[in-house]
Structure 1
Amino acid sequence: MSNTNYIGKALSRVDGPAKVTGAAKYAAEFNVPGLVYGYVVSSPVAKGKITKIDAAEVLALPGVLQVFSHENVPMLALLDRSYKDDVAPGGSPFRPLHDAEIKFSQQPVALVVADTFELARYAASVLKIEYETVAHETDLETKRGEGFEPGTGKTGFVPPPPPRGNPDKEFENAVHRIDQEYVHGTQHHNPMEMFGTTAEYLDGGKLNVYDKTQGALNSQRYIRQIFGLSKDDARVISKYTGGGFGSGLRPQYQLFMAVLAALELKKSVRVSLTRQQMFSFGHRPHTLQTVKLGTNADGSLAALHHHALHETSRFEDYTENVVNWSGMLYQCDNVKLGYQLAKLDVYTPQDMRAPGAATGLFALEVAMDEMAYAAGLDPLEFRLRNYADRDQNLDKPFSSKKLRECYHEGAAKFGWEERNPAPRSMRQGNMLVGYGMATGVWDASQQKAGAKVSLSADGKLTVQSATNEIGTGTYTIMTQVAAEYLGLPLEAVDFQLGDTDFPAAPVQGGSWTAASVGTAVKNACEALGEKLLKLAQQMEGSPLKDAKFEDVEFVNGQLRLRLDPGQAVVVRDIVQASGETKVEADATAMPNLIKQKQYSLHAHNAVFVEVQIDEELGTLHVTRVVNAVAAGRIMNPKTARSQVLGSVVWGLSMALMEETVMDHQFGRYVNHNYAEYHIPVCADIHDIDVLFVEEEDDIVNPLGVKGIGEVGMLGVAAAITNAVYHATGKRIRELPIMIDKLL
């Protein structure tokens, strides 16, 4: 329909100027008239109940408006324990201020509202609350052998398939065998923007709610159900999100607090969480995994066992697809996969960038490296020897799979052939040098999404969808799609998002936004194009009078005949001649399930890493990374590369730094701050090369795009771990890899 070719161009972010000048406003930056402030009080105990709240002294402070707790919160729909948000696991979601019971440390137990933030914070610090405690359990290690198999209560969770072949017998008969445990501790998302909500109270009791979220519609559904509000009563707006990584998929408790206070006080209220409170909800769960691999004499996999046990809360069964990847990434006819949960006195874990895969593939890919050494094979050759051309879990072909090309192109760029296979064999001065590699795989999915387009008489196109922007480049990608399909210059397109008044779109997560919303934008532009053609044919002397839609194209602001480009009409003139101020169209995009269900849909990558380790000090540096990614059509190589760069940094962070440490005596995370929850700084990051392997796929969605925000992280932590073994000869199976594990 267009040959303008914006899709695939390395264009700068259209929202970049707004972000660097401060024009982009985040949830806690909207200053509305008469704004008052709420400060959350957190429980110091992990389990028990509140026995007394004495708010008299606090309420006597001039400027303190109210102290909300379970003692005075109106019940409303809060009693409805059947409520689920869009991504809730099975069970009963946590209800803030619902009753006196304490379920986890740092649970919100009160909200102090005052005229100023400083006063609210001070008042919260002197609020007197007494607790009765009972014994708590927060240590997953004590739950070995007590795990249970979850049901299918969470959207997206796929229980492991039943065993295939005879994995127990074939493992015992295998020529080479390994049987090891792999562990990573709890990790927290820690986006730069902390969670905050500004609830603007309007005439008639309506609300404009500015929320830090990855799904404005999900936040709206949450407060509508709890407070009995109509769509018109509660508009949720989220134009920019300063990092989410999954933490914003579910509505967090500051949203409930702000809306509650605004409705009760009939005032505009802002509630912002502190960095310490950011550790009070959601995390990548502490997980224990065992992997058993057996190979035949030729290095082919004879048997594969993968079992995972991870934590969940007492009130919800949080699930992840941890082990399923092991049954489909490599060719193996004898596979046994197991997955269990253990209930602890913690808040429910939550999706965190590449949930399940980041955990499961770490274990699998380190085990594959161990197996390669046991079988006397190069780790890359071992993976190629066991390459899967078909998804054995589903017994379906892949819609596309260029993983083999990822291996070859990545290895060539990295210089893998220069690797001496013997551990501790490569040095540079006093530094031990190690090369490691690993594989990643992630779902390529599409969700139902809507979009609306409006072309004004001055040639400006406005595109709207209720999707979100968490830093992934959504503003830019959708602008490119609209400009491409209507042949307009980029500066003539204004893409708007993050508003519940716009057409519905899914939460931004799962690496599905480009496919889902992008297809909706494409469909809406094509619907508008058909309207414009009909209007053009009504113009006097129209050169397009007898043209069919497939005979025309939109190029450089014109609607013209494909085979005779000289026969054209200026798009802006079409609207003006119609006598209308604008021409509009909307569309919804749905996945083609009939077509897609015949295939296994995935993106893949191969990661190659060089580490240097000081032999005496044990200090570890990741000096080079090459990440080769096959993710279908790359919409914008510049923003896509940024996505993968961030993914690699996170993979490094997971491998070497990230761990939330629990003091089980108190059931409390002790390093709940940026000072002691370590993440990389610029000095930790060296050379990162990103390669996009060409891959065409007309099955995944009409745009042929697969998400890259998550697959780019996968394989990084395992590749680093494998490189550490190659450098030192010491096999680390528990993340993060700190100096004490190397000395």
Structure 2
Amino acid sequence: MTERLESREKVTGAARYAFEYPVENVAYAAAVQASVGRGEVVAVDADSVLALPGVLAVLSHENAPKLHDPPDGELALFQSRTVSYRGQFVAVVVGETLETAREGARRLRVEYAAESPDVRLRTDHPDLYKPDKVNPTFPADTEQGEPEDAYGCSAVRVDVTYTTPAEHNNPMEPHTTLAQWNDDGLTLYDSTQGASSVQNIIARVFGLDRTQVRVVSPHVGGGFGSKGSPRPNVVIAAMAARAVGRPVKFAVPRQQMYATTGYRTPTIQRFRVGADSDGRLNAVLHDVVEQTSTVKEFAEQTATPTRVMYQAPHRRTSHRLVALDVPTPSWMRAPGETPGMYALESVMDELAVATGVDPIELRIRNEPDRDPENGLPFSSRNLVACLQEGAERFGWAGRDPAPRARREGRKLVGMGVAASTYPAYMAPNRATARAEPDGTFTIRIAAADIGTGARTTLALIAAETLKADLGDVRVEIGDSSLPKATVAGGSSGTAGWGTAVVRACEALRAELNGGLPAEGLEVSADTTEEVKAREAFSRHAFGAQFAEVEVDADTGEVRVRRMLGVFAAGRIINPVTARSQFIGGMTMGIGMALMEESVMDREFGDYLNRDLAQYHVPSCADVRDVDAVWVEESDPHLNPMGAKGIGEIGIVGAAAAVGNAVHHATGVRVRSLPITPATLVPRL
């Protein structure tokens, strides 16, 4: 019943999203972005805008209230004159209607003292530095053995540099907040991946106790990481609502999202791999350069998947950052693993060509029996099974290894493969389980549904634990007044939330042995100690991506004919939502390979393509035949469900599989994404 109800609410429009909550006397906010790439605000001509009918307030550094120690510089709205990047919010206009607010924002004149911004990522930037750590807490650098010497002595050497551009999340629902102050504090109807996180951070920003902030977010129209922490929209709505003494709605327009809601950093990745003539790795060196902002440091963990994938006695990974006059990068689906595995799996394909070893066999030959970096045993690792299962399903045995070997008229056809991986995270969570007087059950946890079917999966977990019919289980999520939960991210939702639900349901069953009281019975669970006590294992999901492409030999147009993903991700709780998540990630991987690129204006700063007309993502016509399956995997070292999580891994390796297929089809190796006709035609 939970699954059907959730589906019905969404397809009929009954599911309520942040902007849709009806409140009386609501006002609307529209933000003004900086038109210079660096400098200071000299003056804001608020008086002329305040004279417009229906304009209620203009907030800027000149009159905004002082905030209380924002933990994130991007949330320190209007606290100084400083402009750190073009597109930064420098003022907000509040109006009786959305149209009035936007017209006021359009008319607001802001005077600047401008400076030339530094916005270009390059390997020779004089201000490159080593961060203390990379997201979330990994060491920036690792080294084992003598990688430089071992590489120099290797029989086969590959030394290449791969680059990926900045990429932007484009959820269907924009970043939206409805803020309402009352006698008890602040209520936020917010588009977020973590109600508990927003509650804690916004309470700190406004100097409130966390109990004075309530965040309501039962449905979220996508996030992909961009809604994993509070963005400026939350602070703007709350600040504006307090200033005008009325509820205020603020939805970030799509064009403004490109500067204010995070993006995947561009990367420059130098890979050096050394192997013997049979393709067995001797040395792996992966050095990454990426950008952060002057407002806040964010270091993508791009090289971390290289630490876990293949056996090599001599190895080094490193990350270097430069703080540019740009917006702060942040999470985008499978942060780190996505760009890192694109480069690694492309390099493995280059090594396969250099050694004459089949790309699948090459990966199998370098399969480790323990985690290569820390020596821990894997809780389970079935990459080889994924590769072999995928090869059989995809018809890999019929592939001629020679590039440009298959031509159908004007079309060059090729096949590529790449591996996938993602850590199996689990964090502490809390949940309550209640037996209602009518014999049904209610599960409460402040989890988030970002379109992944969280309610359905948690209901299945609860029903199984309670040994109850699914139709008798009701799940309440998306509200910070519920038991505290972690954000929907890192493929950790099912593992973390699900464990808390299992423990609450187990405790409830034990209590019910004495019978059900007339008023019902409720118990709680907190998994903090359980998570701390976990044994030391290397816990990761793995997979294999297969792609077949056709390339027009005259125009350079690339089409993905078919794609297959085979994954080993522990127990799959809900096959329907699981397949959807895998395919969704693979589709994003096609976009990464062939379309997605946020283009920086190097003179003025800011991204030039700021809407879906210019920032291209795959549509139905671009995804002709995509399928995802999984191998059965039993892992007792994870959590009560035996699940590893699947939200992230579907995109990992997908772009590399497409790129490797393009090379097989054409003989052209493109090392900078996206792969477009402009990059292919001159070399065809």
Q: Distance in 2 between matches of 1:512 and 1:475?
A: 15
Partner of 1:268: 247
Structure 1: tracts of 5 or more residues without a match:
1-5, 536-574
Which residue identity is paired with 2:600?
M
Q: What's the CA shift string for 1:113-157, capped at 9, x where partnerless?
A: 1111111111111111111101110000274464211013x6623
Match of 2:642 among 686, 704, 726: 704
Q: Does 2:563 correspond to 1:584?
A: no
Query: How far has the Cα of 1:188 moved from its partner?
Result: 0.5
2:81 counterpart residue number: 100
The answer (yes or no) to whether the contact 1:524–1:587 under 8 Å persists in 2 is yes
- 1:455-497 CA-to-partner distances (Å, cap 9, x unmatched) read 2111121111011111111110011111111122222111010
Quote the residue 1:540 is aligned against.
none
> Residues 606 and 171 from structure 1, CA distance in 2 versus in 1: closer, same or farther, beyond 3 angstroms?
same
Decide which of 558, 568, 576 is 1:638's aligned counterpart: 576
Letter in 2 for 1:666: F
Q: What SS class does the counterpart of residue 519 from structure 1 fall into?
A: helix
**In the TM superposition, what are the counterparts of 1:365-514 in structure 2 within 5 Å?**
365-514=345-494
Q: Which of the residues 91, 107, 110 maps onto 1:126? A: 107
1:684 and 2:663 are equivalent in the alignment: no
Cα distance in 2, alignment partners of residues 297 and 489 from structure 1: 59
Whether the 8 Å contact between 2:26 and 2:246 is mirrored in structure 1 is yes
Q: Which residue of 1 aligns with 2:46?
A: 55
SS at match of 2:433: strand
- Percent sequence identity over matched residues? 41
Moved more, 217-226 or 409-418: 217-226
Q: Is the 8 A contact 2:161 2:268 kept in 1?
A: yes
Q: Secondary structure at the match of 2:142?
A: coil
Return the offset for 1:298.
2.4
**Larger of the two Rg values belongs to structure:** 1
The CA deviation at 1:201 is: 3.4
Q: Letter of the 2:678 partner, please give it.
A: D
Contact 2:32 2:90 in 1 (8 A): yes
Q: Secondary structure at the match of 2:138?
A: coil
Counterparts of 2:248 and 2:657 in 1: how far apart (Å)? 47
The amino acid of 1:134's aligned partner reads E
- What are the superposed Cα offsets for residues 384-423 of structure 1, whole Å, 9 maximum, x if unpaired? 1111121111111100011110011011000000100000
1:689 Cα offset (Å):
1.9
Distance 1:531 1:525 in 2: 10
Contact kept, 8 Å, 2:130 with 2:140, in 1: the verdict is no
* Structure-2 separation of matches of 1:189 and 1:328: 27
Contact 1:194 1:273 in 2 (8 A): yes
Q: Distance in 2 between matches of 1:105 and 1:513?
A: 35
Contact 2:432 2:483 in 1 (8 A): yes
Q: Distance in 2 between matches of 1:591 and 1:631?
A: 24
TM alignment of 1:33-432, pairs within 5 A: 33-77=24-68, 80=69, 83-84=70-71, 92-141=73-122, 143-144=124-125, 146-152=127-133, 156-160=136-140, 162-202=142-182, 204=183, 206-281=185-260, 282-432=262-412
Alpha-carbon separation, structure 1, partners of 2:381 and 2:187: 45
SS in 1 for 2:143: coil
Matches within 5 A, 1:560-709: 575=516, 578=517, 580-590=518-528, 592=530, 596-709=534-647
Q: Which amino acid aligns with 1:20?
A: V
CA contact (8 A) 1:312 1:344 kept: yes
SS in 1 for 2:19: helix
- Cα distance in 2, alignment partners of residues 12 and 429 from structure 1: 48
Q: CA deviation at 1:230?
A: 2.7
Deviates more, 1:729-738 or 1:219-228: 219-228
**Number of equivalences:** 680
* DSSP-derived class of the 1:529 partner: helix
Counterpart for residue 680 of structure 2: 742
**Residue 409 to residue 638, structure 1, CA distance change in 2 (3 Å):** same
Structure 2: gaps (5+ residues): none
Q: For the residues of structure 1 that align with 2:335 and 2:185, how far apart are their CA atoms? A: 37
After superposition, the Cα gap between the structure-2 partners of 1:594 and 1:240, relative to the gap in structure 1 and judged at 3 Å, is closer
Distance 1:673 1:266, change over 3 A: same
In structure 2, do the counterparts of structure 1 residues 671 and 394 end up closer, same or farther at CA, with 3 Å as the change threshold? same
For 1:137 and 1:685, locate their aligned partners in 2 and report how far apart those are by CA, in whole Å: 38
Distance (Å, rounded) in 2 between the aligned partners of 1:276 and 1:342: 26
Q: Is the 8 A contact 2:135 2:301 kept in 1?
A: no
Does the 8 Å contact 2:432/2:501 carry over to 1? Answer: yes
Corresponding residue number in structure 2 for 1:729: 667
Q: CA offset at residue 327 of structure 1?
A: 2.6
For residues 610 and 288 of structure 1, what CA distance do their matches in structure 2 show? 27
Describe the superposition over 1:635-687 as per-residue Cα deviations: whole angstroms up to 9, x where unpaired.
01110000001001000000000000011111121101111000011100111
Contact 1:13 1:473 in 2 (8 A): no
Deviation track 1:360-383 (CA, whole Å, cap 9, x = no partner) reads: 111111001001100111111111
Q: Indicate if the aligned counterparts of 2:116 and 2:604 stay in contact, CA closer than 8 A.
A: no
Offset at 1:308? 0.2
One-letter code aligned to 2:49: V
For the 8 Å contact 1:12–1:638, the answer to whether it is kept is no
> Which amino acid in 2 is paired with 1:428?
E
Report how far residue 598 of structure 1 moved. 2.1
State the distance in 1 between where 2:66 and 2:245 align: 18
Q: 1:56 to 1:205 in 2, by over 3 A?
A: farther
Any conservation in 2 of the 1:631–1:695 contact (CA below 8 Å)? yes
Q: Match for 1:111: what amino acid?
A: V
Offset, 1:506:
0.5
**Alpha-carbon distance in 2 for matches of 1:674, 1:587:** 44
Structure 2: distance between partners of 1:693 and 1:421: 26
The residue identity in structure 1 corresponding to 2:370 is R
Secondary structure of 1:612's aligned partner? strand
Deviations 1:684-740 (A, max 9, x none): 011112111111111111211001111111110001000000000000000000101
Q: Distance in 2 between matches of 1:157 and 1:438?
A: 27
Pair 1:15-2:6 in alignment:
yes
Shift of the 14–381 alpha-carbon distance from structure 1 to 2, 3 Å rule, reads farther
Q: How far 1:615 moved relative to its partner?
A: 1.0
Question: Which residue identity is paired with 2:554?
Answer: E
The equivalent of 1:519 in structure 2 is 499
Deviations 1:421-452 (A, max 9, x none): 00000122321110000011110011001111
* CA-based RMSD: 1.6
Superposition TM-score, scaled by structure 1 size: 0.89
The aligned counterpart of 1:565 is none
Q: Distance in 2 between matches of 1:284 and 1:303?
A: 28
Distance in 2 (CA, whole Å) between partners of 1:462 and 1:472 is: 20
Native 8 Å contact 2:75 2:231 kept in 1: no
Deviation >6 Å, runs of 4+: none
Code of the aligned partner of 1:133: A
User: What code does the residue aligned with 1:473 have?
Assistant: G
Which SS does the other structure have where 1:317 is aligned?
coil
